[in-house]
Each structure stands twice: as C-alpha cells, then as structure tokens.
A and B are shown apart, each in its own frame.
Chain A
Amino acid sequence: MFGLCALAGVLVVVTLVDVIYQLVNNGQLATSRFGLGFLGHTAWKPGFHIEGAGALIYGTLVSSLMAIVLATPLGIAIGLYLSMMAPVRVRAVVGPLVEMLAAVPSIIYGFWGLVVLVPFVDRLEPGLHSALGFIPLFGPASPIGISLFSAGLVLTVMILPIISALSRDLFLTVPAELKDGAAALGATPWEIIRGVVLPTTVSGVTAAVVLGLGRALGEAIAVSFVIGDVNAIHPSLFQPASTLAERIANQFLAPVNPLHLAAMFYAGLVLVVIGMLTSVAARAIAGRFDVTQRVI
C-alpha cells in the first residue's frame, strides 16, 4: 500500500518532467533556430519560416493583467461579503453559485463571449473611447468588438470564482477574537476589514491572485473565440490580438511546415515556464496559508 501510493507520487513527478521533455524535444527545430530571440521577435510568418512570440507574449500579459485588475477587487469584495457580511442562508446559496462560475466549461465561455459579450463590447467601446480616449489603451476600435478587451473580460469572469472562493476561505481563517477585539474598540465593519482581516491574510490573497493570473495566462479556448488571433501589438485594448495559448489552439492542427509546429511547441514551453513560475510564486507568497487550485 505504501509502495503503491509512493509510486503514484513518483508518477506525478515523472509526468511533470516528461512534460518539459516533450515540449523541448518537439520544439527543438524552433528552439535551435530562434533561440531566446523567439521571445522578443514580433513577426509570425510561418510561410517564410519566421516565428516570434513577442506579440503573443504581449497579448497574453495584457489580457491577463486586465483580468487581474478587474477580478481582484471584485473577487476580494465577494470573498468579504461571503465570509463576513452575508447571512448564513444567503452564504450557503451564493457561495456555491459563485464557485459554479468556475464549473462552466471554457468552450461555453468562448461561445457565449463571442455571441453575447463581443457585441456588448462593440457598443461599450464608443463611450469608453470618447471618455478615456486620451489614454492609448482606450484608442481606436476594431469594427466588430473582437479584441483584447473582450478577451480580458472573458478571463475576468473565468478567474473571478477562483479569487473569490480562495479569499473567502482565507478570510474565514481570521480568528474571531481579533475581529471581536477590533469591534470592541469601536471599529466599524470596514475598519475591521482594513485593519484586521486584510492585513492578516494579505499574503494568502496575493497568492490567490497569482493563481488566478496563472489560470488566465494559460486559457486557450475561451480566448480564441473573442480575441481574433491577429499577430499585432497595438496600444489600444479594442484591437484584435493573440495570446500564446490561443495561437496554439488556433493553428496547431494545420501547421504549414515542421518549423511552424515546432514553434508552437516552443510557445507551449514558454507558457509552461510562465505557468510553473506562477505556481511556485503563489506557493512562496502564500507562506503559512494553504492556497492551491482546487475543485472543492
């Protein structure tokens, strides 16, 4: 029994190592040809044997950061509501409902994003552009709403349940004595949150946000529906773009030459390095808190 269980553990580690090996091995053509320059080059012209992930990395980072910027305050607010403000009965219903946002498959988010969210963004854009157009981020738009902005919104919805469920669990670990003590000193609920709850859990919440970031960085299918797979770096959020994962999903099945295929494995390798870094970072930041991706 011990042997079997230890074997299962070994298998996990071996699989992880093999993931790296397979990506390196199959991407060899691209890694040897482009080297680290792959990360900086922005051209992606498979027909001319030119591939660079610069634009992809830009799209990945910008869409994920946008999702983090929107989902972090929302998620923390939901976590606070569920852990400290909601009546017990409401909590028992709303909590699972929020978590259920994480159960909706990414393909459905993508499909829904394309049909519902993209037209919405298309109507939202003129207002944002005229009000905030002096900021390059809210620059000129693409004609149909397929854009980095839409991708960011879809990702926001996808990582919101992660951040809110994890932060709720963290807030619940704050000892009642601390909160009661603050209340006894006359602190208002917000002052209890700001003075006691957030400071004691800040490392855990940060780790939860990093986990959400990791999830957003690697999302392929949902993003591929709404971002347009256009290899461009444009300061405006309302222009179509592309991300690492989305590019792989879009072009993997029809590579024009072996180098193209290898380049996508290379992109996968970049993605995996980013993903592992976020996992390790989350673990390091979390400190004494136990923050990981989970299903319950």
Chain B
Amino acid sequence: MSATAETALYERMPFDPTAPLTPSGNLRRRAVVSRFVQITATAAAAFAVAVLVIVCYGVAVRGASALSFDFVVENPSGLASGGIFNALIGTLEIVAFGALIALPLGVMTGLYLTEFAGPRSRTARVLRLALDMMAGLPTIVVGLFVYGLIVIPQRRQSGFAGGIALAIVMLPLMARSSQEVLLLVPGSLREAADALGVSRWRTVLSVILPTAFGGILTGAILATARAAGETAPLLICDSIYNTDTTSLNLFHGVPSVSMFIYTSYDLPLTQAVIRAWGAAFVLMVLILIANVAARLLLARSRGRMAR
C-alpha cells in the first residue's frame, strides 16, 4: 500500500488507530507528573553534589593562599606565622590513641553481636540499643562526659582525655561497620570450620577475621577520618596547650588541627584567619583522601568476598 493510500485509509476510518499509543488526557497528565518528579529528583542530587563542590571550592580557594610546603612541616611562630606541623602531629597522636582503644573494642563488639550472641539473644538486643544510643550521643556531650571522668579528677586538660573522647565517638561507628562486614562473611565458611571441629574462637581468628579484614579496615579508616575532624570533644577536653611547640606527651595539652582552626578564626588578625583556612583545607583534603581510599578498598574487598 502506498503512503497516500495509507493516509486515505486512515482518513476513512471512524477512529484514529494510533490513539492508544500516544498519551493524551489523563495518561499525558500522569506522564508529565512522573517526568516532573524525575527531573526534581535529579535536580536534588545535582544540588547535593553542587553543595559539596561549593564547600570544597570555598575552602580550597581561601586556603590556597596560606598553603606552602613550610605550612605543613613547620611549627607556628606566634599567632600569625609559621606552619601547623605541631597541630598535625597532635591530631595524629590523639586520633591514633583513640583508634587504639576504639578499633579493637569496636571489632570485638561486632564479633560478639554476629558470632557469639544468638539471633534471639536478649543481651545482644540491649547491646545494639546501647550502640545506637552511643552513636546518637552529641559529640559535645561526649566531651562533657570525658571532662567529668578525666579532666576534673586530673585537674587538667590533656591529649589523653581528648583521645578517650574520640574513642567514644569512633566505637559505635566501628562496631556498626564491622558488624555489617561480618554479616557478609559466608555462613558456609563457619559451617566448614565447625565441621572440622574447630573451636569458635579459632574460627573467628583464623577464618572470619581474615575474610572480613578488608571491610573492617575500610570501617576503621572511615571512623578514624570522622574522629580526625571532630572539634567539640577536643574543645572541652584538650583545648589548652602550648601553641608553638610539638607536644609528644599525651598527658599534657596536645594541639590539634581542628582546635587550631577553631581558635585562629577568633583572632583579630587577617593572617591568622588565612592560616585557619589553610589548616581547614589540609584537614579536608586528608579526610577526603581517606574517604576515597576507604571506598576503593571496600569495592575491592566486596568483590573478593563475592568470589
């Protein structure tokens, strides 16, 4: 049939045969609404990414002018010149100390919940609730707690107190992430170990932990990165320190990057504010690098566990 003949045929018909295929009326309205929602959702995601970019860009632009190699490897001299080396080392000390406490405890809590407690265990339920509550503690309250627990009896702020506070921030995150990874370990591995007559604790040490290692490490990096950026607990527990020197004694005030930013911004010196931006930039870069690294690691270990 030729094209003109076809058209002629359609014209002779009492109805349009393509009508059910082209949205009209109610169907068109539904399609438009749906399209609108999809565009809105896409815009929302774009907005979130844009906010991240704006924040990063804002910090980078303002921090760049303070940045130099010396800024990272020199101690400050006075309030408006020098680098932030002592603050970087201090953050490292406090966070490492906190991680030393929180990471093993977190992993063990996760192990208890997944490997040792039964699925209907009442203690496990209480513990899960406690972990939830701990994760929900405002970090400033963690600071208050450690202030009452350690700073008041010792009569001075210290990196030790700050580290304990950060440990409390990290612990629930660590417990949570290791729990999630441990649940991914195939049950067949446990059954195989059980069938060989291996005791539970040996199974945990030699089968389950090695299998879940990548995921646990990811959680550890992310929890540590979170703690490294915390300011509120340090403000309360470790904010009085010698600003110009590196402190290696955890039982005295230890400088930290976040406290450096917090105090420098308050100074009526342009140079101090610029240095605060520089420190913020360094802190942000370190944390974002840790996050990206952790995610890459996670993707790799997930892939390996699925194999």
Residues of A within 8 A of B (CB): 1-2, 4-9, 11-13, 15-16, 18-19, 22-23, 25-26, 73-74, 77-78, 80-82, 85-86, 94, 96-98, 100-101, 103-109, 111-112, 114-116, 157, 160-161, 164, 188-191, 193, 211, 214-215, 217-221, 225, 245, 248-249, 252-253, 264-265, 268, 271-272, 275-276, 278-280, 282-283, 292-296
Point out the residues of chain B lying under 8 angstroms from A7, CB to CB.
108
B130 touches A272 (CB 8 A): no
Q: Answer whether residue B127 sits at the interface, using C-beta atoms and an 8 A cutoff.
A: yes
| With known contacts A6-B112, A8-B112, A218-B138, A268–B144 Cβ distance under 8 A | yes
B148 touches A293 (CB 8 A): no
A106 touches B229 (CB 8 A): yes
User: CB-defined interface of B102-116 with A at 8 Å, one 1/0 digit per residue?
Assistant: 001110110111011
B280 touches A296 (CB 8 A): no
Q: Answer whether residue B67 sits at the interface, using C-beta atoms and an 8 A cutoff.
A: no
Point out the residues of chain A lying under 8 angstroms from B144, CB to CB.
22-23, 26, 248, 252, 264-265, 268
B34 touches A295 (CB 8 A): no
CB distance from A150 to the nearest CB of B (A): 15
28 A–B contact pairs at CB < 8 A? A1-B201, A5-B108, A9-B113, A9-B123, A12-B105, A12-B175, A15-B168, A23-B144, A80-B41, A94-B45, A100-B52, A103-B229, A104-B52, A107-B258, A108-B284, A189-B38, A190-B34, A190-B36, A215-B136, A225-B265, A245-B140, A248-B236, A249-B140, A275-B136, A275-B137, A294-B173, A295-B176, A296-B222
Question: Which of A97, A98, A104 is most buried by chain B, counting CB atoms within 10 A of its CB?
Answer: A104
Q: Answer whether residue B135 sits at the interface, using C-beta atoms and an 8 A cutoff.
A: yes
Q: Which of B44, B106, B201 contacts A2 (CB 8 A)?
A: B201
User: CB-defined interface of B257-295 with A at 8 Å, one 1/0 digit per residue?
Assistant: 010011001000000000011001001100110011011
Point out the residues of chain B lying under 8 angstroms from A77, CB to CB.
40-41, 43-45
Point out the residues of chain B lying under 8 angstroms from A215, CB to CB.
136
CB distance from A94 to the nearest CB of B (A): 6
Q: Answer whether residue B59 sits at the interface, using C-beta atoms and an 8 A cutoff.
A: yes
A268 touches B141 (CB 8 A): yes
- Tell me the nearest residue of chain B to A270, going by C-beta: B141
Chain B interface, DSSP helix/strand/loop, else mixed: helix
Point out the residues of chain B lying under 8 angstroms from A78, CB to CB.
41, 44-45, 48
B52 touches A101 (CB 8 A): yes
A249 touches B235 (CB 8 A): yes
Point out the residues of chain B lying under 8 angstroms from A271, CB to CB.
138, 140-141
Q: Answer whether residue B200 sits at the interface, using C-beta atoms and an 8 A cutoff.
A: yes
B226 touches A276 (CB 8 A): no
B140 touches A248 (CB 8 A): yes
Given contacts A106-B229, A108-B229, A116-B58, 16 further A-B pairs with CB under 8 A are: A1-B200, A13-B126, A77-B41, A77-B44, A86-B45, A103-B288, A111-B276, A157-B55, A188-B33, A191-B34, A215-B136, A218-B138, A219-B138, A249-B236, A275-B138, A276-B133
Chain A interface, DSSP helix/strand/loop, else mixed: helix
Point out the residues of chain B lying under 8 angstroms from A116, CB to CB.
54, 58
Q: Which of B41, B108, B135, B200 contacts A4 (CB 8 A)?
A: B108
Q: Answer whether residue B211 sits at the interface, using C-beta atoms and an 8 A cutoff.
A: no
A272 touches B52 (CB 8 A): no
B30 touches A293 (CB 8 A): no
B48 touches A98 (CB 8 A): yes
- Tell me the nearest residue of chain A to B218, going by C-beta: A296
A105 touches B134 (CB 8 A): no
A74 touches B49 (CB 8 A): no
Q: Answer whether residue B51 sits at the interface, using C-beta atoms and an 8 A cutoff.
A: yes
A81 touches B295 (CB 8 A): no
B116 touches A5 (CB 8 A): yes
Q: Answer whether residue B7 sits at the interface, using C-beta atoms and an 8 A cutoff.
A: no
Roughly how many angstroms separate A249 CA and B292 CA in the complex, as a whole number?
A: 31
Roughly how many angstroms separate A280 CA and B132 CA in the complex, as a whole number?
A: 8
Q: Which of A6, A86, A105, A295 contacts B258 (CB 8 A)?
A: A105
Point out the residues of chain A lying under 8 angstroms from B280, CB to CB.
107-108, 111
Question: Which of B31, B127, B144, B176 is most buried by chain A, counting CB atoms within 10 A of its CB?
Answer: B144
Roughly how many angstroms separate A106 CA and B283 CA in the complex, as a whole number?
A: 12
CB distance from A6 to the nearest CB of B (A): 6
Point out the residues of chain B lying under 8 angstroms from A19, CB to CB.
137, 141-142, 145
Point out the residues of chain B lying under 8 angstroms from A105, CB to CB.
228-231, 258, 283-284, 287
B133 touches A279 (CB 8 A): yes
Q: Answer whether residue B74 sits at the interface, using C-beta atoms and an 8 A cutoff.
A: no
Point out the residues of chain A lying under 8 angstroms from B158, CB to CB.
none
B127 touches A12 (CB 8 A): yes
Roughly how many angstroms separate A170 CA and B157 CA in the complex, as a whole number?
A: 43
B283 touches A111 (CB 8 A): no
B231 touches A252 (CB 8 A): no
B145 touches A23 (CB 8 A): yes
CB distance from B74 to the nearest CB of A (A): 22
